[in-house]
Amino acid sequence: MADDRDRDGTELAVAEFHRKIKEAFEVFDHESNSTVDVEEEEPTGYIRFEKFLPVMTEVLLERRYRPIPEDILLRAFEVLDPAKRGFLTKDELIKYMTEEGEPFSQEEMEEMLSAAIDPESNSINYKDYITMMVIDEN
Amino acid sequence: MGSGTSTQHHFAFQNAEKAFKAAALIQRWYRRYMARLEMRRHCTWSIFQSIEYAGQQDQVKLHNFFSYLVDHFTPSSHNEKDFLTRMFTEQRSPQGSEMENCGDCESIEVPDSYTGPRLSFPLLPDHATALVEAFRQKQRLHARYVLNLLHEARKHLVQLPNINRVSTCYSEEITVCGDLHGQLDDLIFIFYKNGLPSPERAYVFNGDFVDRGKDSVEILMILFAFMLVYPKEFHLNRGNHEDHMVNLRYGFTKEVMHKYKIHGKKILKLLQDVFCWLPLATVVDEKVLILHGGVSDRTDLELLAKLDRHKIVSTMRYKTRKNKKQAEEKGKANQMGSAERPSPWFLPQSRSLPSSPLRPSTHKAPRAGRSSSVPCGVPLDPKELSRRVRHSVDLELERCRQQAGFPAIKEKEEHSTSESDVDSDAEEQPEPTPEEWRQVVDILWSDPMAQEGCRANTVRGGGCYFGPNVTERLLQKYNLQLLIRSHECKPEGYEFCHGRKVLTIFSASNYYEVGSNRGAYVKLGPDLTPHIMQFQANKATHTLTMRQRISRVEESALRALREKLFAHSSDILAEFKKRDKDETGLITLSDWAAAVESVLHLGLPWRMLRPQLVSSLTDSKLAYKSWLENLAKEKLSQQNIQSSLLETLYRNRSNLETIFRIIDSDHSGSISLDEFRHTWKLFSSHMNIDITDDCICDLARSIDFNKDGHIDINEFLEAFRLVEQSCSGGDVSDCPQVTASSNSVHTKASSVPVTQGASEAMPSSLLECLPYSP
């Protein structure tokens, strides 16, 4: 039955996920004591691997953090640019990113501006920007 | 109108909602992107650190090996004796009049054509400033002035206590700088930004002035000059790199010999002494303790203040020849049974053996070749442990002797008789006690950790990891409020830990690679509140975005990693084959990760790094032979060195270079084939490197490029330098755009021809050990 195959597939997937999660966790686990420090959840300021693993496994299995496709991203920018100029001015970008949605901190804003804004036109050509970021990730 | 307005409102609301959602989507995407970038940065950092520390471990093992030889190897023939005496005797300059006055250096003439800076003593502030300016303009100080300056520096240092006590009431503020590692740009930047030293502007430089960077000499000259000009305000602490043994490996010795071909030897000899006279620590206002590495649960500031710091020539090697019996007695009394044994000197007495913080805890016993037969993970009675180790090392040494063709010796009873005639220590000063030596090693090598307690620092091979409770106890015991230390590179140039009671300050920016990290220094005012200033002494990095900086550093780390992979190709291939029983030529990525880790033991997140290391897959499997071949292709060599030998050379490059420099005790720049073969044989068997006699001969012969029976150290290093140059990104000023081809093999334009296949008279035995066909 498809179910059985699914289950096997899922088990394999889970095992592989576990390995991947463990590896990723260890990158941030500087002291190798199975904890990484985090700013939410536990009041101690740390998250333990035993707690992290099942949560992340579920997240991966349910494919909750799938990458956002380019075209969707493009449309999002176009919503903010109703005149369809193909760009947003620096001020407009700042306004949207710091006042709408889940606002950026000043640091985040500065970092985004440093890469996104073309200093000559003082604006972001969002299509080019998206392309550049996506290539970078190959 | 009613309906009109509500429709308007409806639209307005919808638009606002859309804008909100759109912004939220963009933010989400961006944040995830930054998270991935952060991940890459962490991975890259892990790569650099694990390779760096693995190198340090190697260093320790190498010196343990030599130390052990020194202590237990009784030469039976005159030739052997000469060889060993020459190689291993610490040529400490006699405390005679030759060293006291600079009669020697006065005789060095400075030609009229010399346009560099000229010094006269006593030094004036203007001289020191002029020196900074001269070096900024890439001038070089004549050897005579170098020696003069070192002599004067030594005279000054001898008068200083082990622990300098300074006060902020004279100068208003004190600036503390961390590791510089030969990076002159950073020092000049600090002086530019913070101001030159003066009676109102005190400085403390916290060790590791030399090695790795290319201007260690110039940095030392500047630091010593200011120390002489402002003795009350300018202070230096010794770091673990202020050590002639460490310098052999990490580049300072090389730099001196390169810049001062005629007088380099003299300079190095004098430096060896000067380093031993550097103070060990500085205390500000009786409240802030500044030292290079860290502390341990045994750190005793009173003992440190009293000991004769000049006796500690090198923290790499604890000599025991003369006072071995005494040391043993003392050792037993102090319950430091194994402390006098070079091999396992860092073995814990009351501490438990930790797993290395860089490796996942699943790795228990390391490979035999790496641990010098020390069993891990099992807490044993320390005496029993050291006895076992001693025994196995004895066996190994016996085997080494036989393999190396030296006749077998009797037991260690011979020691007492032979010690006296082989020993040229007779003129030397008494040795430090094991406890003294250990105290100094602890403060120069230790690192803080987050957990409570105190454990042996097996990653570095020296000192310990100390926890917040150790810091707390120490600060309370001596009524201090802050510990400032260096020794560890930090991405931001500084880091607080232990509840802000410990501050790491590191002043060498771009330490691993351009863009890898900032440098920092800290200012203390009379209130002793630390103010941190950061910098990055490279204009180019400012124009790069974080993305570009990380990519650049990443490329460098990956290059280093690929080289390591190449250096272990044979072993890796064997592991691959084990996982490919059906001989399909393909393995899964899971197997790939496991195989590579089992050989390299770097504890890296291989799955994360996989896209950068493995470009193409067939059905999500890797064709491993061609992957290894691609790695090899990057390692071009002008010399006709057959590929498996090349692999051996790469794997042991640092050790080989260090061995060369140790053997070449008179710094002539060349060693004989025989000397090399002897030492390499002994070393290989000690490290469990499986290598036949023929291979050793061939290795020696292939390194002897001009076939004159001598190995020229620089020639040997040339081979690697050419490869590095052809692979490196070249000038910093071209900020590279990130390209999509980061997965492909780097084939930058190189003027070095690719040579594959057989060199002239390749012995058949080697043909058989080729892992893959050329």
Q: Do B33 and A138 touch (CB under 8 A)?
A: no
Chain A contact set for B603 (CB, 8 A): 26
Lowest mean per-residue pLDDT among A40-54, B101-115, B237-251: A40-54
* Residues B608, A28: C-beta atoms closer than 8 Å: no
Q: Strand B281-284 to strand B163-166: parallel, antiparallel, or no bridges (unpaired)?
A: parallel
The tens digit of pLDDT for each residue in B552-592 reads 788 888 888 888 888 888 889 999 999 999 989 999 888 99
Residue B770 confidence (pLDDT) = 26
Q: What pLDDT is recorded for position B567?
A: 83
Q: Tell me: pLDDT of B489 over 90.
A: yes
B14-31 per-position pLDDT tens digit: 778 888 888 988 998 898
Chain A residues with CB under 8 Å of B29 CB are 68, 73
**Where would I find the H helices in B78-142?**
78-88, 97-100, 103-106, 125-136
Please list the helix, strand and coil fractions of chain A in percent, rounded to the nearest 5, in that order: 60, 10, 30
pLDDT of residue B508: 95
pLDDT given for residue B298 in this prediction? 94
Q: In angstroms, how far is CA B599 from the centroid of its own chain?
A: 22
**With b meaning 16 or more CB within 10 Å and e meaning fewer, what string describes B389-419?**
bbeebeebbeebbeebebeebeeeeeeeebe
Does the bond joining B342 to the residue before it have cis omega, within 30 degrees of 0?
A: no
Please identify which residue in the block is written with the tokens 């620096």.
A90
- In this predicted structure, what is the pLDDT of residue A36? 64
Q: Which residue of B has its CA nearest to A108?
A: B31
Question: Of B667, B666, B663, nearest to B682 (Cα)?
Answer: B663
Which of the pair, B723 or B152, is modelled with greater confidence?
Answer: B152
Please name the member of A33, A101, A112 whose beta carbon is closest to the beta carbon of B23.
A101
pLDDT at B749 over 60: no
Contact between A101 and B359 using a beta-carbon 8 Å cutoff:
no
Range in B80-84, B303-307, B359-363 the model is least confident about: B359-363
Instruction: State how far the Cα of B520 lies from the Cα of B502, in Å rounded to an integer.
Output: 15
Sign of dihedral through CA atoms B86, B89, B93, B95? negative
Q: Is there a contact between A135 and B738 if contact means CB atoms under 8 Å apart? A: yes
Angstrom distance (rounded) from CA B719 to CA B86:
28
Confidence at residue B728, expressed as pLDDT on a 0 to 100 scale: 41
CA pseudo-torsion sign B418, B420, B421, B427: positive
Question: Which residues in chain B have Cβ-Cβ distances shorter than 8 Å to A77?
Answer: 22, 26
User: Are the Cβ atoms of A79 and B29 closer than 8 angstroms?
Assistant: no
pTM higher than 0.80 for the full model?
Answer: no
Instruction: Return the structure tokens found at B563.
Output: 């080289």
Q: In whole angstroms, give the CA distance from residue B123 to residue B127.
A: 6
Report yes or no: B506 and B179 within 8 Å, Cβ to Cβ: yes
Reduced DSSP (H G I as helix, E B as strand, rest coil) percent helix, strand, coil of chain B, to 5: 50, 10, 40
Whole-number percent of chain B with pLDDT over 70: 65
Distance from CA of B41 to the nearest CA of A (A): 10
Write phi, then psi, for B106 (nearest 5 degrees): -60, -25
Dihedral of alpha carbons A108, A114, A118, A122, sign: positive
Q: Which pLDDT tens digit goes with each residue over B654-676?
A: 777 777 777 776 777 778 877 77
Q: Residue B753: its pLDDT value, please?
A: 28
N-term to C-term CA, chain B: 86
* Residue A96 Cα, gap to closest chain B Cα (Å): 6
Q: How far is B24 from chain A (nearest CA, A)?
A: 4
Tell which wins on pLDDT, B649 or B391: B649
Q: Output the pLDDT for position B63.
A: 67
Instruction: Tell me what pLDDT residue B576 has.
Output: 93
CB < 8 Å & 24+ apart, contacts of B559-565: B559/B727, B559/B728, B559/B746, B560/B47, B560/B48, B560/B51, B561/B47, B561/B51, B561/B604, B561/B609, B561/B613, B562/B613, B562/B631, B562/B634, B563/B635, B563/B650, B564/B51, B564/B600, B564/B602, B565/B596, B565/B600, B565/B613, B565/B631
Which residue has 């430089």 as its token pair?
B205
Mean pLDDT, range B361-387, rounded to an integer: 35
Residue predicted with more confidence, B230 or B722: B230
- What is the structure's pLDDT at B376? 31
Q: Which residue has the higher pLDDT, A30 or B258?
A: B258
The whole-number pLDDT of residue B102 equals 60
Q: Summarize pLDDT for B514-526 with one digit per residue, the tens.
A: 878 899 999 998 8
Nearest to B678 by CA among B704, B657, B658, B659: B659
CB contact under 8 A, B449 and A68: no
pLDDT bucket at B81, cuts 50 / 70 / 90? low
pLDDT of residue B378: 37
- Residues of chain A contacting residue B356, judged by C-beta atoms under 8 Å apart: 32
A66: chain B residues, CB-CB within 8 Å: none
The C-alpha of B496 sits at a distance from chain A's nearest C-alpha, in angstroms, of 15
Q: Are residues B27 and A79, on separate chains, in Cβ contact within 8 Å?
A: no
Chain B residues within 8 A of A72 when measuring between CB atoms: 25
Residue B239 has a pLDDT of 96
Q: How confident is the model at residue B233, as a pLDDT?
A: 92
CB contact under 8 A, A136 and B607: no
Comparing CB atoms, the residue among A23, A68, A135 nearest residue B29 is A68
Under the banding of pLDDT at 50, 70 and 90, the label for residue B545 is low
Q: pLDDT confidence of B679, banded at 50, 70, 90?
A: confident
Search chain A and give the residue with CA nearest B22: A76
For residues B703 and B717, give the distance between their C-alpha atoms in angstroms, rounded to a whole number: 10
Separation in Å, CA of A19 to nearest CA in chain B: 9
Q: How many pairs of residues across A and B have Cβ atoms under 8 Å apart?
A: 112
Of B504, B487, B482, B53, the C-alpha closest to B293 is: B487
Question: What is the tens place of the pLDDT at every residue in B502-514?
Answer: 999 999 998 988 8
Inter-chain touch B545–A115, beta carbons under 8 Å = yes
B71 CB burial (10 A radius; 0-12, 13-18, 19+): buried
Contacts of B67 (CB under 8 A, 6+ apart): B317, B318, B319, B342, B343
Say which of A65, A101, A138 has its CB closest to residue B20.
Answer: A101
Average pLDDT of chain B is: 73
Q: Which of B18, B29, B37, B591 to mutate to test the interface with A (most CBs of A within 10 A)?
A: B29
Question: A46 CA to chain B: closest CA distance, Å?
Answer: 12
Structure confidence at residue B422 (pLDDT)? 36
Cβ contacts of residue B292 below 8 Å, gap of 6+? B206, B207, B208, B237, B238, B239, B240, B443, B444, B485, B486, B487
Q: Residue holding tokens 């035993």?
A: A50
| Sign of the Cα pseudo-torsion (B198, B204, B208, B212, in order) | negative
Residue B747 confidence (pLDDT) above 60: no
| pLDDT tens by residue, B430-486 | 678 889 989 999 999 999 998 899 998 877 777 899 999 999 999 999 999 999 999
B12 confidence band (pLDDT: 50, 70, 90): confident
Distance (Å, whole) CA B740 – CA B551: 12
Give the residue on B whose Cα is nearest the Cα of A92.
Answer: B23
Measured between beta carbons, which residues in chain B are less than 8 angstroms from residue A30?
357, 450
Percentage of residues of chain B with pLDDT beyond 90:
32
CB contact under 8 A, A136 and B738: yes
The alpha carbon of residue B575 is apart from the nearest alpha carbon of chain A, in Å, by 20
pLDDT at B604: 84
> A136–B30: do the CB atoms touch at under 8 Å?
no
pLDDT confidence tier of residue B539, bands split at 50, 70 and 90: low
Question: What does the angle CA A59 – CA A63 – CA A68 come to, to the nearest 5 degrees?
Answer: 115
Taking CA atoms, what residue in A is nearest to B737? Answer: A136
Q: Two tokens at B121?
A: 């003593």
Q: What's the one-letter identity of residue A58?
A: E
Give me the residue label for tokens 């035999």. B368
Q: How far apart are CA B211 and CA B180, in angstroms?
A: 9
Annotate A52-68 with b (16+ C-beta within 10 A) or e (fewer): bbeebbeebeeeeeeeb
Determine whether the interchain pair B32/A65 forms a contact, defined as Cβ–Cβ distance below 8 Å.
yes
Q: How far, in Å, CA of B478 to CA of B466, rounded?
A: 17
| Catalytic residue of the set B72, B181, B235, B241 | B241
CB B457 within 8 A of CB B357: no
Q: Is B671 helix (H, G, I), strand (E, B) or coil?
A: strand
User: A3 vs chain B: nearest CA distance in angstroms?
Assistant: 25
pLDDT tier for residue B74 given thresholds of 50, 70 and 90: low
Q: Which residue of A has its CA nearest to B607?
A: A20
Residues 6+ apart with CB under 8 A from B23: A76, A80, A96, A97, A100, A101
Rounded CA separation B234/B278 (Å): 13
Whether B241 sits among the annotated catalytic residues: the reply is yes
- List of residues 6+ apart from B8 with CB closer than 8 A: none
Contacts B450 to A, Cβ<8 Å: 30-31, 33
Q: Do B359 and A135 touch (CB under 8 A)?
A: no
Do B280 and B163 touch, CB atoms closer than 8 A?
yes
CA–CA separation, B209 vs B177, rounded Å?
10
- State the Cα–Cα distance between residues B460 and B124, nearest whole angstrom: 41
pLDDT at B708 over 90: no
CB-CB: which of B355, B605, B739 is closest to A26? B605
Q: Do A136 and B551 touch (CB under 8 A)?
A: yes
What is the full per-residue pLDDT of chain A (138 aa) written as tens digits? 445 555 566 676 677 777 777 777 777 666 566 666 554 444 555 667 777 777 777 777 777 667 788 888 999 999 888 888 989 999 999 999 998 888 888 888 988 888 888 888 888 998 888 888 876 665
Range from B100-109, B141-150, B477-486, B619-628 carrying the lowest mean pLDDT:
B100-109
Please tell me which residue, B545 or A89, carries the higher pLDDT value: A89
How far, in Å, CA of B707 to CA of B202, rounded?
Answer: 55
Query: For residues B587 and B621, is the Cβ–Cβ distance under 8 A?
Result: yes
Question: Which chain A residue has the Cα nearest residue B594?
Answer: A19
Contact residues, chain A, for B21 at CB < 8 Å: 76, 79, 101
Instruction: Report pLDDT for A132.
Output: 81
Of B19, B33, B738, Cβ closest to residue A80: B19
The answer for residues whose C-beta is within 8 angstroms of residue B648's C-beta and 6 or more apart is B691, B695, B699
Q: Alpha-carbon distance B336 to B349, whole Å?
A: 7
In terms of Cβ atoms closer than 10 Å to its own Cβ (0-12, 13-18, 19+), residue B679 is buried
Contacts by residues B16-19 (CB-CB < 8 Å, ≥ 24 positions apart): B18/A79, B19/A79, B19/A80, B19/A96, B19/A100
**Residue B336 reports pLDDT greater than 90:** no
Cβ within 8 Å, pair A114-B546: yes
Nearest Cα to Cα of residue B132 among B214, B192, B178, B182: B192
Is the separation of the CB atoms in B212 and B251 below 8 Å?
Answer: yes
Q: What's the rounded mean pLDDT across residues B62-79? A: 59
pLDDT in tens, B278-299: 999 999 999 999 999 999 999 9
Residue B751 reports pLDDT greater than 80: no
